Structure 1
Amino acid sequence: MGMLKTFLFGNKVPLPDAVKRSMKEYQKEGEWTDHFFCKVRTNEGDYYEIIYRGVQNSRGFVKLIIRADGSIPHIDEICQDNFEDVVWIANCTDGSSLFISRTGRKWSKYTVTPYTRIIKLLSRIQGDCWDEMSEDIKEAWQAYYQVAEVYIYEQKVIRECYRNGTKIRKRLFQTHITTLEDCRILERNRKKMVRSAYYQNHVQLKTYEDRKKLLRYLFSHTRWYQLRVWITVLELLHHHSRLLNEKKLTEEDRMEIENNHEKLMDENARMFEGDIDFYKELRLILRNPDGMDENKK
């Protein structure tokens, strides 16, 4: 029976009877209910996040936070604008967990094989041509090398964050309890993954001209009989053509980079656009009383 319930309704925290009664009391005609898969545990106790769907608003849903004893807390208790409260823990845990399980899983599977190959090819060039290169060409070689070096390193970070996040998710689905510390760990791993993926692409974009400079030099200075060097250069050209450059970006891509570059490079910045207006937007969809209206439903 337990496995059947999990299959039909998902692996979620069971709701106490007192919480179910309050949930039904605040439910309106035509709405159906869902709830966050964990209960949120704080120093003040345990809380459950209920979602009412089929609501006639722009989002199509509203939320209600209920204490474990079935009582309804005021908004000021659960929504404190500090990214540490009940509503933030529930929202951040849910969003970060989902990101890690979907996007993080996909990113963690990206292979580093082409980049280890680039390092091997560039090492050949270094062995065959280094003494003849001018300083600016050596710098161009180093820029191309950096692309592979950074990608491999950041891919290790992504995979480590995916493993760390997956461990937390597994525990949350076993205990159905999340805390501020769980939320912070998940968010930290999510941010590190996003920053690593961005930096992988950023380095490719900023080294495009240097990579071209190196390849032009090699094409013009490789002698016709240097067969091994020619094969290496052609393979480097192939990899270069597959890397990012400005011409491959859409206008939307350019706007995203322009708007988000600074905060993606700043480890202390709030990264996600939804974080900025999180509390303003959330207050519009909470059914909890705000203190002025004790019977808000």
Structure 2
Amino acid sequence: MAEKQEGLVVSHLGKGIAVETVSGEILLCQPRRKLETVAVGDRVVFEQVASGQGRIDEILPRRSVLIRPARNNKIRPVAANIDHIYVVFAPEPRCDFLLIDQYLALCENRNIEARLLLNKTDLPGSEVLQPKLAVYQTLGYPLYKVSAVENIGLDDLKRDLKGHVSLFAGQSGVGKSSLTNRLIPDKNLKINSISATTKHGRHTTTAATLYHLPEGGDLIDSPGVAIFGLAGLTESELAWGFREFQPLIEHCRFHNCRHLQDKGCAIKRAVEQGEISSERYQRFLKLREKMPVML
């Protein structure tokens, strides 16, 4: 009987799953039937069944999981055991603050720490964003200012990445790929190495892949992460996802307050008194409208 081992899921390859052993070997594994969907970043228990091949028997408890909508109104995990999500934005394309607030709300509810990452600081327009960014900094969200092209600010970013599992999220065109390539100079070499080790051919999937950073820490590169939306969040969780709302929610007159035109709403009162950003509150209302209808 094969010995059970613990491993780390580093990529999906077709219908197979690339699992890294404690010694650094990569095996192409299949999950047991009826096992829930395995995500990149999962710690798993597996057993080797042949040379370079294994079977996943168990997914170990996750400290966090990022999910996205799937077919038939279901959800599926994108990545697991993430410590930090860096919400990447730039002067160009135009900064989408609604998307930023959406990411932050998810992080607040998924046991993931959020950071703001302003890329392309070599371009004009970065300072124009500062007044709006100050709102987030006041709420305690760290802000990193970098330029992947000019190699500005990356040393501070690398220090923050060290020792953690992280993921970049943001709208298309903000430079996530450029940042990833700067941080992982041998990214293509690592992709080819996984493909060669598992004999799966060139790894061209758009699914998430976990890379070990040269300075320490892991980075999950997930090209499709922008589509995870508000999957799995309830209305009350969305409100909790706005950090400045959290201490006020229990002071609303009604426990099921929707924070719209409800009587005695502590959040609405704080907005009217200028204690909460009216722009953030308006974006909260827009996100409520975007939420899937709960049947």
Fold similarity call, TM over 0.5: no
Task: Looking at secondary structure, tell me which structure has more helix per residue.
Answer: 1
Larger RCO: Structure 1 or Structure 2 (Cα < 8 Å, ≥ 6 residues apart)?
1
Between structure 1 and structure 2, the one with the greater Rg is 1
Task: Looking at secondary structure, tell me which structure has more strand per residue.
Answer: 2
With structure 1 as the length reference, what TM-score do the two structures score? 0.27
